[in-house]
């Protein structure tokens, strides 16, 4: 098995009413934790690399680790660039074997977003690589969507057909109230399912992507806070909302913060319980297991993609 694109994965996910997990990877233990869970649950996978991950790990190390994951697991795995912000970055990833890239030009005007996205699509399709783009803008880490963002940040369904037709993009990330990071909602958690429905009606069968979809399990927050951390009020997207989205047009759900919190809560507790230990294997091993268990939970209870590889 070699790296695959998302084309087949999304076709099956759309028809089957489930979504594929797109997990951010930054090091060996995170990759291993994700892949061990997917292997045991027979789930297709998207492993995604941000520009921050590229800077942290050096792209070649991540690429080789993902190749090892495929050899070890035999799973269909897509290697995806998360939030590519320039044509050059997308091109570099395409040339270095990624099977999917995201061009995120959502902060530009619609016309500019279309132009930048189409450029990447033309280059990528020529090399057999698929492209995700974004329309609408997710709130940042500090700005909880339902408190400080106006409707103008949500995706405008009236623009999606024109965007997809003019760019030829393969999947579309939309903004319906999710946001990046661990502080997503101050008041009631609310997703605009009406926008998702409207988009799905206008783009029948077309795969939609949800970013900012960590659910921020409260056991992680409590452990982090108990062992010297400070994350009061951390809150994510309720899992039942994500499950509902996965049964609709959403075929890819992006999760990063939950994995970070799995690692951090485990390591904080480990040092509290074992203050004299200093061998990284002693705390990175349990951290890897924690990643595995949260990913397994997502595959079964949130994404519904277990058994679909
Ligand atoms: O959406 C962003 C992802 O969580 C990646 O975060 O840019 O800190 O690697 P990063
Ligand atoms: P979270 O911060 O909710 O995990 O979102 C991750 C993401 O969207 C990566 O692109
Ligand atoms: Zn994102």
pLDDT tens readout for residues 132-173: 999 999 876 433 333 345 544 899 999 999 999 999 999 999
**Which ligand does the CA of 180 lie closest to?**
2
pLDDT for residue 9 is more than 90 = yes
pTM of the model: 0.96
Provide the strand spans (E) within the chain. Answer: 20-24, 45-49, 77-84, 100-103, 130-135, 171-174, 208-210, 250-255
Q: Which residues are catalytic?
A: 82
Q: Mind listing the domains of the chain with CATH numbers?
A: 7-303 (3.20.20.70)
For tokens 């058994």, the residue is 307
Burial environment of residue 165 by CB neighbours within 10 A (0 to 12, 13 to 18, 19 or more): exposed
Segment 30-73, tens digit of pLDDT: 999 999 999 999 999 999 999 999 999 999 999 999 999 999 99
Q: Which residues pair with 131 in a beta bridge?
A: 101
Interval between CA 194 and ligand 2 midpoint (Å): 22
Question: Taking 80 as the threshold, does the pLDDT of residue 186 lie above it?
Answer: yes
User: What is the CA(57)–ligand 1 centre distance, in A?
Assistant: 13
CA nearest neighbour of 207 among 260, 254, 171, 257: 171
CA angle 186, 227, 220 (to 5 degrees): 45
User: Is the C-beta atom of 214 inside 6 A of ligand 2?
Assistant: yes
Residue 140: its pLDDT value, please? 63
Smallest-distance ligand from the CA of 55: 1
Q: Give the number of other CB atoms < 10 A from CB of residue 80.
A: 26
- Region of 169 (left: φ > 0; alpha: ψ -120 to 50; beta: rest) is beta
């Amino acid at each position: 098995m070699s790296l695959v694109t998302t084309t087949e994965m999304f076709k099956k996910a759309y028809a089957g009413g489930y979504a594929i997990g797109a997990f951010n990877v930054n090091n060996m233990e995170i990759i291993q934790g994700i892949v061990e869970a997917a292997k045991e649950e027979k789930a297709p996978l998207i492993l995604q690399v941000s520009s921050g991950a590229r800077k942290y790990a050096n792209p070649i190390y991540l690429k080789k680790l993902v190749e090892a994951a495929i050899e070890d697991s035999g799973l269909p795995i897509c290697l995806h660039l998360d939030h590519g912000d320039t044509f050059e970055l997308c091109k570099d990833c395409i040339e270095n074997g990624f099977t999917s890239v995201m061009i995120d030009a959502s902060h530009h005007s619609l016309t500019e977003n279309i132009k930048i996205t189409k450029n990447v699509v033309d280059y990528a399709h020529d090399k057999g690589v698929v492209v995700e783009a974004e329309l609408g803008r997710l709130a940042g880490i500090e700005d909880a969507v339902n408190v400080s963002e106006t409707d103008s940040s949500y995706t405008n369904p009236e623009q999606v057909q024109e965007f997809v037709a003019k760019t030829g993009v393969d999947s579309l990330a939309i903004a319906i109230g999710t946001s990046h990071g661990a502080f997503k909602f101050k008041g009631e958690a609310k997703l605009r399912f009406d926008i998702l429905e409207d988009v799905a009606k206008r783009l029948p069968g077309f795969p939609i992507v949800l970013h900012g979809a960590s659910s921020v399990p409260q056991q992680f927050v409590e452990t982090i806070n108990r062992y010297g951390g400070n994350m009061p009020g951390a809150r994510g997207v309720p899992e039942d909302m994500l499950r509902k989205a996965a049964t609709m047009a959403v075929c890819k759900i992006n999760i990063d913060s939950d994995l970070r919190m799995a690692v951090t809560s485990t390591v904080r507790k480990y040092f509290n319980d074992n203050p004299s230990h200093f061998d990284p294997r002693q705390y990175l091993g349990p951290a890897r297991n924690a990643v595995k268990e949260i990913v397994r939970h997502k595959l079964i209870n949130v994404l519904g993609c277990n058994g679909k590889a």
